[in-house]
Chain A
Amino acid sequence: MTFFTVVVRGLIRRPVRTGLTLLGISIGIGAVVTLVGMSWGYEKSIGKQLDVIGIDVVVSNMSGGLMPKVFDETLQDKVAALPKVADTTTVLMLMLSIEDAPMMMVSGREWGGFTWEKLEVLEGRLPKDDKEFAVVLGKLAAEVLKKKVGDTVQIEADELPVVGIVDGHAVVENGAVILSLSVLQEISSNQGKVNFVDVRVPEGTPEKEVMELCETVNGLFPEGRAKLASEVVGTSQGYRLARAMSWSTSLLAIIVGVLGVMNTMLMTVFERTHEIGILLAVGWKRRRILYMVLCESALLGFLGGVTGVGLGALGLKILEVTPAIRGLLEPDLSPKLLLTSVAIAVVVGVVSGLYPGWRSSRLSPSRALNL
């Protein structure tokens, strides 16, 4: 028999209660993994998209809701005239409900702009020119909408033919419906409006100069902001919202977990007052009693954490294939997230064991044995 046997024996003597506590912790940790995984995944997908397209600076007005507010497209000419600007292009990005999909990214891109460059045509072709009333679908969007070349998609009031399926090498690109900027402006009644000016700087420009460029743009465009592509992700409203929600829900899950484990450990300790009296009477140190209770609660946390991570991974897999979310983000199931979550669960266990452990180590043996 080892000390670990003593710890395990303490937990399995009440299998139902231990089981319920484990279930509670795993649901909590499962929620943490799912929510944080989605939020991290969202961040990663956007970052990857900007990277794939080769955008250095994004000019937009992020103060709106999920998508930035539109502004006049003439801003592009002013930005293009600035020094240290190699190339600019404009985009009108809208979140629209398309047929059965409640939320789809619809990306109207300036004809001839560099945002078209990285699209690899898998089937069909790109639009002929900026006036063609047609869309190409990212390969995930095609799957979600169940469309192939030759079908039509309905955007707002218009039916547009699908002329091509493309691979944009980033999940956000592949989840999008892509068309010429002027066509999207027309069908969404946003004539002359865009919500992004994407900027490329000459290769090898030091970050300091890029930041100076951002400052200059901010002078031209007071209601919006120019940001380094690397900053965009963390400051987008949608992302901030997602992150805040995932962390606050996680915090709630953790608090519920702590209360659950603490309750279990307190009950265990009260119920075992007599046994703890025996342990003290045969010479166990108070420290060892405390350590035993902490090990029990840490083990509860660890086991709950491991099952919780399993549940969370399952949850993310389910979300990944859920039509409503498919293509909007790529859940992040990194080892970092999984290990962090198990570590959180163990910490939850230890923290919850502190008070019960302290209480039981303070017992007087004669009182505990009811002598």
Chain B
Amino acid sequence: MNEASKGAGSVVYEAHGLKKNYDGGQVAALRGVDFDIREGEFVAIVGPSGCGKSTLLQMLGSLDKPSEGSLSYRGRLISALEDPSDYRSTEIGFVFQSFHLLPTFTVSENVQIPMFETGLSRGEREVRAHELLVSVGLSHRLKHFPSELSGGERQRVAIARSLANRPSVLLADEPTGNLDSENAAHVVELLLKLHQELGMTLVLVTHDLGIAALATRTIRMKDGRVVNESTPLTHAS
């Protein structure tokens, strides 16, 4: 645990007894999870495959609702939000392992998609998308379609899209899982820059211990539970 960062920021996420069951209770993906995440932290979530990391990240991104327990974001209970779309569009950016870009839209258009909910004009959307794509090093790809890009480039488009509405939190679920090591390094470098230069809170699920080592704190999971954060990794997995 990194005491400095934990003490530094205000609480962004606070989870109590978070549970998630699938298939009518047959699968318990989260079995009661408690944690908090503070402003400006870079938290790596690690653990064996199937231990509930993605499920936890989906709860944080409000892509699904917990079955039990409470999850709050800056003091607001997001586990009970009737319509989480505002939270999704402006508070957080979500980066997926498999990119999830829209195939019939160009790179620039993909980055503009989230901006429809924020009242920017057409011109402002285009300018903002351009800026974001410059910042991820893809200014030469604006008019290309996702199918014309490499995996690493696609993930950088997805990162640009996640930043569209200037969120303060970035949630990334194995963002390098589908990339070769060179592209993975590039994407990690980009995420790290966002954390360090913009002070974004970064929650990242990864298998890669090298990436986890860059984090300010690591949450280890096993069988749907958070195992003691100080437990050595070899015992957890």
Interface residues of chain A, those whose CB is within 8 Å of chain B, are 1-3, 5-6, 9, 13, 274-275, 277-286, 288, 364-367, 369, 371
Contact code string B67-107 (vs A, CB < 8 Å = 1, else 0): 00000000000000001011111100010100011101100
A365 to B125, CA, bound (A): 24
B54 within 8 A of A: yes
* In the complex with contacts A286-B85, A371-B58, A2-B90 CB distance below 8 A: no
CB of A282 within 8 A of CB of B63, answer: no
B109 within 8 A of A: yes
Q: Which among A13, A281, A285 is the interface contact of B94 at CB below 8 angstroms?
A: A281
Least Cβ–Cβ distance between A274 and chain B, in angstroms: 8
Residues in B whose Cβ lies below 8 Å from that of A278: 100-102, 113
A368, closest chain B residue (CB)? B63
CB of B83 within 8 A of CB of A1, answer: no
A1 to B122, CA, bound (A): 7
Residues in B whose Cβ lies below 8 Å from that of A285: 83, 85, 117
B126 within 8 A of A: yes
Q: Which among A3, A6, A275, A284 is the interface contact of B85 at CB below 8 angstroms?
A: A284
CB of A283 within 8 A of CB of B109, answer: no
Residues in A whose Cβ lies below 8 Å from that of B113: 6, 278-279, 282, 284
Q: Which among A2, A283, A365 is the interface contact of B114 at CB below 8 angstroms?
A: A283
Residues in A whose Cβ lies below 8 Å from that of B101: 278
A2 to B126, CA, bound (A): 10
* In the complex with contacts A1-B109, A369-B100, A371-B54, A281-B61 CB distance below 8 A: yes
19 CB contacts below 8 A, A to B, read A1-B109, A1-B126, A3-B116, A9-B104, A278-B100, A279-B113, A282-B88, A283-B88, A283-B89, A283-B90, A286-B83, A288-B116, A288-B117, A365-B64, A366-B58, A369-B63, A371-B63, A371-B64, A371-B173
B201 within 8 A of A: no
B54, B114, B116: which has the most chain A beta carbons within 10 Å?
A: B116
A366 to B173, CA, bound (A): 13
Residues in A whose Cβ lies below 8 Å from that of B155: none
B165 within 8 A of A: yes
Chain B: how many interface residues by the 8 Å CB criterion?
34
Contact code string B39-57 (vs A, CB < 8 Å = 1, else 0): 0000000000000001000
B218 within 8 A of A: no
B176 within 8 A of A: no
* In the complex with contacts A3-B116, A283-B86, A284-B116, A366-B63 CB distance below 8 A: yes
Residues in B whose Cβ lies below 8 Å from that of A369: 63, 96, 100
Residues in B whose Cβ lies below 8 Å from that of A6: 105, 113, 116
CB of B114 within 8 A of CB of A282, answer: yes
B220 within 8 A of A: no
CB of A282 within 8 A of CB of B89, answer: yes
B85, closest chain A residue (CB)? A285
A365 to B85, CA, bound (A): 11
B112 within 8 A of A: yes
B161 within 8 A of A: yes
A279 to B112, CA, bound (A): 11
Contact code string B167-208 (vs A, CB < 8 Å = 1, else 0): 000000100000000000000000000000000000000000
A285 to B96, CA, bound (A): 20
Residues in A whose Cβ lies below 8 Å from that of B116: 3, 6, 284, 288
Closest 9 CB pairs of A and B: A283-B89, A283-B88, A366-B64, A282-B114, A366-B63, A285-B85, A365-B63, A1-B109, A13-B104
A3, A13, A280, A282: which has the most chain B beta carbons within 10 Å?
A: A282
Residues in A whose Cβ lies below 8 Å from that of B162: 282
CB of A1 within 8 A of CB of B125, answer: yes
A283 to B119, CA, bound (A): 13
A371 to B52, CA, bound (A): 12
A278 to B126, CA, bound (A): 20
